[in-house]
Structure 1
Amino acid sequence: MRFIEEIVVDEFLPTFRSMLAEALRERGLTQSEVADVLGISQSAVSKYAHGEVTQNEQILADARVEQLVTRLADGLAAGDMSPVQGLVETEVLIRKLERGDLLAQLHEAQVPELARFDGSLSIHDPESGLRASERALSSVRRGVRTLQNTSGFAMLIPNVGSNLVECLPDATTIDDVVGVPGRIFDVKGQATVPGDPEFGVSEHLASVLLAARRNGNPARAVLNIRYDEDIVAALEATDANAVSFDAQLPLDEAIDAALADAPDADVLYQPGSFGIEPITYLLGRDAQAVAERIRHIV
């Protein structure tokens, strides 16, 4: 686990300070004066001056870094800028470079797992897409573990298999929905999960969830299990709001009709039709919450 702050300390600061020390020396400041301005030791300035500090070539060549070094060197050497202002200006640039920019790219190169996130990476943003994605993945992992550890869940898996999915807060397509690749099947009485959750791998359940949300349903997760009158009755006994839909209609139309008078329904089911297996869908705030509901009906 390598933090972006380590990139700042190990890559940015040595390069930036050496550039600024050199620029200040070019403007006539002594090593001692440079040390005072930068708040570092004179021996550190000497190392910068003699090229004993490794510089990052990408940071060194960045025009914005060069421009800031020039501006700070001019202001600090002339006395028009205080070291505090120089610090603030530098911090502003660092924060900018961390938001999907140069420092984020250097971070991604050293933490390849970040590369799978398709978006502008702002690792410090509590509302970032990366954080939301990782939370959704983690939620589905927890939900799947709950299902695997729930005695009797395997008996609820339909012939087509089950899946557990959760979407991002602003989901619009299947690529915004996390699910189990393939499906969860009953193998000799044990719920078997083929792989770690991923985005964009469960088109059917993603379609169910997205259709429900388009109708005003607040759910962000859904699980499919087999249909049985007793199962629906057991869910209703836990205060579930269950509504049926027509299996012969296109999915979006069927869910639109089912939720027209009950947009907050948390159980959708269809009792089957010719060539169509009956199915029950459990909706909930997240994957873990949906999985927990299984324990009340087995």
Structure 2
Amino acid sequence: MKFVEEVVVEEFLPTFRSMLAERLRDRGLTQLEVADQLGISQSAVSKYAHGEVERNESLLEDDRLQELTDSLADGLAAGEVSPVQALAEAEVFIRQLEQGDLLAQLHKEAFPSLAEHGGTLAIHDPESRVRQSEQVRSSVRRGLGMLENASGFARLIPAVGSNLVECLPDAGGIDDVVAVPGRILDVKGRAAVPGDPEFGVSEYVASVLLAARRHGSDARATLNVAYEPGVVTALEARGYTAVEFDAEAELDAAFDAVDVAGADVLYQTGGFGIEPIVYVLGADAPTVVSSVREIVDEV
């Protein structure tokens, strides 16, 4: 695990400080004066001057960083910019480079696991894709743990298997949906989860969730279980709204014909070569699992 702050300390700061020190020296400041302006030791300035500090070539060649260090050096040398103001401008620049820019790229190179998330790596943004992705993955893990410990759930697993899925808030496709790779199966009366949840590994169950959201549902998760009348009856007895749809129609066409927006449960009673299935919808994976666990002993 490597934090973006480590990339800032190890790659940006030595490069930035050395560039600024060079420019201040070019403007006639002594090593002591440069040290005072940068808040570092005179020996550190000497190391920068003699090329004894390793610098990042990508940052050195960045036109924006060159422009910033030139501007700060002019202002500091002329007394028009204070060290505090220079620090603030550098902080703003660093945050810009972290938002899917050069520092974000260096962070991905230093910590390759980030690459799977795609998009802009707004690490300091509480709503960033990375943070949301890990929250959703964690949510599905919690739900799966609840399923594995749910006595009797295995008998609700359909022949095609179950899957527990949850999507990102702005999901546009199955790559934005976390699910179990493969399927949850009944193995000797227990729910067997084949692997750690991942993005983009569910096709049909994820498609049902996404289609429901396109048709007005605000659900972010669903779990499919085997259909039988008792399942739907038990859920309705607990106040859930169940809506039947046509299994043989395309999902969007099927959902156009029913009130998906008001549904907590979607189900179809089968068709030619199609197993009947119930989809329980909810705000997140643990919520969906809790809904199913409520009825396990009744069906």
- Fold similarity call, TM over 0.5: yes
Q: Which moved more, 1:249-258 or 1:149-158?
A: 249-258
1:297 to 280, 295, 298: 295
The structural deviation recorded for 1:12 is 1.0
Runs of 4+ in 1 over 3 A off after TM superposition: none
Q: Distance in 2 between matches of 1:280 and 1:190?
A: 19
Write the letter of the residue equivalent to 2:72.
Answer: L
Match of 1:84, as an amino acid? V
Root-mean-square deviation (CA, aligned residues, Å) is 1.5
For the 8 Å contact 1:212–1:256, the answer to whether it is kept is no
CA distance in 2 between counterparts of 1:217 and 1:70 reads 54
Which ranges of structure 1 fall in alignment gaps of 5 or more residues? none
What percent identity do the matched residue pairs reach? 67
- Alpha-carbon displacement from aligned partner over 1:147-204 (angstroms, at most 9, x marks no partner): 1111111110001110111111112222222211211111111211222222222221
8 Å contact from structure 2 (residues 280, 292) kept in 1: no
In 2: Cα distance, 1:139 partner to 1:104 partner: 26
State the 1:40 CA deviation: 1.5
Residues 242-263 of structure 1 show CA distances to partners (whole Å, capped at 9, x for unaligned) of: 122222332222222222xx62
Report what 1:83 is aligned to.
Answer: 83
1:243 alignment partner in structure 2: 243
Equivalents in 1 of 2:188, 2:22: separation in Å? 71
The letter of the residue matching 1:8 is: V
Q: TM-score, normalised by structure 2?
A: 0.94
Give the equivalent residue in structure 2 for 1:286: 284
Q: Distance in 1 between matches of 2:23 and 2:158?
A: 71
How many residues are matched?
Answer: 296
Look up the equivalent residue of 1:18 and give its one-letter code.
S
Task: Answer yes or no: is the 8 Å Cα contact 1:211–1:256 preserved in 2.
Answer: no
Cα deviation, residue 43, structure 1:
2.1
1:274–1:101 CA distance, 2 compared to 1 (3 A): closer
* Distance in 1 of aligned mates of 2:255 and 2:72: 61
Distance 2:281 2:111 in 1: 35
1:258 alignment partner, SS class? coil
Matches within 5 A, 1:89-238: 89-238=89-238
Q: Partners of 1:275 and 1:30 in 2: how far apart?
A: 83
Give 2:195's aligned amino acid: G
Q: Give how far 1:125 is off.
A: 1.2
Task: Name the CA distance, whole Å, in 2 between partners of 1:123 and 1:17.
Answer: 23
- Show the counterpart of 2:19: 19
Helix, strand or coil at the partner of 2:257: helix
Structure 2 alignment gaps of length 5 or more: none
For 1:25 and 1:231, the matched residues in 2 are separated by 78
Distance 2:278 2:245 in 1: 10
The separation in 2 between residues aligned to 1:276 and 1:55, in whole angstroms, is 62
SS at match of 2:45: helix
Q: Is the 8 A contact 1:147 1:294 kept in 2?
A: no
